[in-house]
Structures are given as C-alpha cells and as structure tokens.
Amino acid sequence: MAKFNMAKTKVPMPEQDPDVRNKNFDEVSLGYTLEMAKEEATRCIQCKNKPCVSGCPVGVKIPEFIHLILEDDLDGAYDKIAETNNLPAICGRVCPQEVQCEGKCTRGIKDEPVGIGRLERFVADYRNNKKYNKPIEVTSVNKKVAVVGAGPSGLSAAADLAKRGYSVVMFDAFHTAGGVLMYGIPEFRLPKKLVQKELKNVIGLGVKLQTNTIVGRTISIKDLFDQGFEAIYLSTGAGLPRFLGIPGENLNGVYSANEFLTRMNLMKAYKFPEYDTAVHIGKKVCVVGGGNVAMDAARSAKRMGADVTVVYRRSFEEMPARIEESHHAREEGIKFMNLHNPVEIIGENGWVKKVRLEKMELGEPDSSGRRRPIATGEFEECEFESVIIAIGQSPNPLIKNTNSDIDTESWGGIIIDDRTMTTKEAVFAGGDAVSGAATVILAMGAGKKAAENIDKYLREKDK
C-alpha cells in the first residue's frame, strides 16, 4: 500500500476554461485520472474513528472505498460505496461534501480535507464507463410497495426496498424519471445521460417505473391500496415555486427558477430549434436569490448568451450557495449585486423593462444564523429583459388537497412520525416533500430511512 501523502491541498480537479465553458453545456469539471485519484487517495490517513462516515447522510464507508482505490480494486471500491449509496456518480458531483463528509475529515483540521466527493465520482464513472452487470440475489417477500416520485429520495427508497425483496413500482408525473436530477440541476453540473445510467441501475434491481402518472389526479392513494400495494412512500419533492409578491411579477419575461430550469434541462431549450421548447430571456437577465438554484439559473442564462446579474439581499459571504458554485459563476463572468432587494418589476408593452431595487444593509443575525438584511430606503432602477426568481420552493400541495387525512405543516411539508409514517396508516413520506427544498443526498438519506421503516412495518404487520 502507498504511504500517506501529507500534501496540504487536494489534487486539483481538471476543468473547462471559464471562457470556453460559459458558452456550452458540457460538464464543467472533467474528473480525475487514475493517477490523480490514487494520489488523492494517499492523503486519507485511514483514521480509526472515521468522522467522515458520520457526516454522510447515507453512511458510505469512506475510508474502506478509498483504501480499495489504492489496492487497484476499483470494482471493489464501487461495490463498497454501493452498499449504502444507490446513486454514487450523482452524489460525487452534487453533494455539498464541504459541510458533510469532507467537513468532518481529520485532514481538514489543518489542511484541505481529502477530496472524498472527487474520489467517489471517479470510482462511479469508472463503473459506468464499462459493461458490468453483477446480479444482486434477493429473496422475494411477495409484497408490493408504491413509491410516488422518482427523484433522488424515491430512487433511493425504491432501490433499497427492491434489495429487500419487495415488488416496487415508482410513479412519476413527468415523462422522464429522475426528478430534480433531470429538470433542476443543469447539464453542465450533472449530465442527463449519467442520471439515466444511474436510473437504469435502479430499474435493474427489478423496480418498475410508470411515468406520466400524477398521484392525486391520474390515480389516487386509495386506488394504489386497491391495486394491492401494502405501503406507499411519498417522495414528491418541493416543486412549488415561491415568488416575491411584488408588482410586475406577472409580466412576460418573469420566470420561476423551476420553470426556467425545467425548460433548459428536461426540455432542452438550449438546443432550440433542434428541440421545440424555446425560452425567451433577452440580452440582460436578472436572477434573484443566492442559493444553488440561483447559481444554476444564472449560469444557464449565461450560456444562452445573456449578460447576467445575480441580485441578492445579503452580502456575498452570506450566500447559501456552495462556494464552488458561486466561484464558478464569478469565473464565468456573472455579475453580482449584493445587498439589493427587488421591490418592483417595471414593464413596457407587457414585457419586463426594468427592476427597481432597494439597497440593503446587514443587521444582527436572524434564526438562520446569517445577518438580517435591513431596508435602507435608497432605491435604484436597472434595465433587464428577464427576471428569474430563485428564492426557494415548497412541497406541492396536491397530495394534501386530495387526501384530507394526511396532515401537513402550515408551509406545506408533510408531517411524519419517528417511523417516517404520515398521519395516514401505511403511507410514509420523506425528502423535500417533508423537509422543504434541501440537498440530493439528504433526500436520499430520507429515502433510505423510509425503506428501512417500511420493511420493519410490513414485517411486524405479519406477526
């Protein structure tokens, strides 16, 4: 085995040049070579208490898979990751490792943490780039479970239930499964072919998929029980956009980030007229918000040739977006107007013409721990042709509106108990539908926990 490498910094990730990538939708980060991966793997000191594992919502055995990279056993490394993570190529790209596994890495106390996410991506890409079918032997328990929503939480739950021997059917409202992985995260961060490969791996476990099915409209929860499903997992995400509630939001040229990114990603508006979903954004675009979704929208608009400005009411340091995402946005030429808040969208002939902004200053920290933005009473107007609003999403109210016996929070989140069961017997829920918009890996962790609880519930039911 190679000696520990005490280099203070991670092996750099190869990337497209900013002035090249801001004009295409190809993946920004290009991934490690085998030599790079092995060099980075030697930075892991294989601590006995494994703090990195405690930071992973799905409990990947991180030191073990890194050790297998050094042993040149990449298939073994993948299998080790896949013991607990059903979507490793996706997690290696979009997880906020800096606050999860890498945030607890011992090496990170004095130096940069080990590049765990980069190594996970490397191993997953290795497996996905080769023809490999290792059948998983399971013993059928002859019970049917329905999973509503084929996003990261639903995929994780479906895979784990299938591995436990359940007959699983996933129902999804869209024509293409994957949820936010397909319609939310841009191609340049998460290639859709890769998402479909990961989906194929889940289907390969025996999971069935039924698309174009809206539970609550096309079919009801009662119908699912009548069809013989003994438990249902609701993983319908948080697809209801929030708006600012200011004058002018009904003008042409105003988008929710959900709509804009769905058009760009799932409907490939960036390939118009090859794909017939056009998207009009004009030359100057304002993106309102400071999270990852705002960065995704801004970077997508930039690739459409627009001059893009992100407007955020707090300082740059207060932005909730991953540092990597905001850093990439600045590299790509996106402008930032921090400490500004839109108060009115001004139109001309029904289309966006200007945005009126109020200057803000920071006060004392609020409940989020970030300093509260305070209005100053000073205003300015800036010309824009489009406004993309990315200030958060809420759970879709359809399930609640069509099932009065499923209780929700006042803001829409489905209420669950410590078994992840809703207030309706045998109906479980998790992911963004419960927590509100969060991360892919937290949604997967919720799906994993729900699968375990559904298994326990159905087994105890038979006793």
Domain range summary for the chain, segments of one domain joined by +: 18-129, 144-239+395-461, 241-389
Instruction: Say what the pLDDT of residue 376 is.
Output: 96
Task: Enter the tokens of residue 18.
Answer: 């900013």
Residue 409 sits at the vertex; the CA angle it makes with 406 and 413, to the nearest 5 degrees, is: 80
Task: Enter the tokens of residue 167.
Answer: 């007959």
CA 59/CA 444 separation, integer angstroms: 11
For the full predicted model, state whether its pTM sits above 0.75: yes
**DSSP designation for 4:** P
Instruction: Say what the pLDDT of residue 4 is.
Output: 73
Cβ atoms of 89 and 121 closer than 8 Å:
yes
Buried b (16+ CB within 10 A) or exposed e, 97-109: beebbbebbbbee
Instruction: Say what the pLDDT of residue 135 is.
Output: 61
CA 401/CA 148 separation, integer angstroms: 16
Question: Rg of the chain's alpha carbons, rounded to an integer?
Answer: 23
Ramachandran bin of 111, using left for φ above 0, alpha for ψ from -120 to 50, beta for the remaining angles = beta
Cβ atoms of 414 and 408 closer than 8 Å:
yes
Cβ atoms of 395 and 413 closer than 8 Å:
yes
Q: What is the mean pLDDT of each run of 10 residues along the chain (463 residues)?
A: 77 96 96 96 94 94 96 95 93 93 94 96 90 68 95 96 96 94 95 93 93 94 96 94 96 96 92 89 97 96 97 93 94 97 97 97 87 95 98 90 91 94 96 92 95 96 79
Strands 335-338 and 340-348: unpaired
- In this structure, the chain runs to a length of 463
Residue 403's H or E segment, with its range, is none
Half-sphere exposure of residue 219: CA atoms within 13 angstroms, side-chain side: 17
**DSSP designation for 414:** B
Distance spanning both ends of the chain, measured CA to CA: 50
CA 24/CA 15 separation, integer angstroms: 13
- Cis peptide upstream of residue 191 (ω within 30 degrees of 0): no
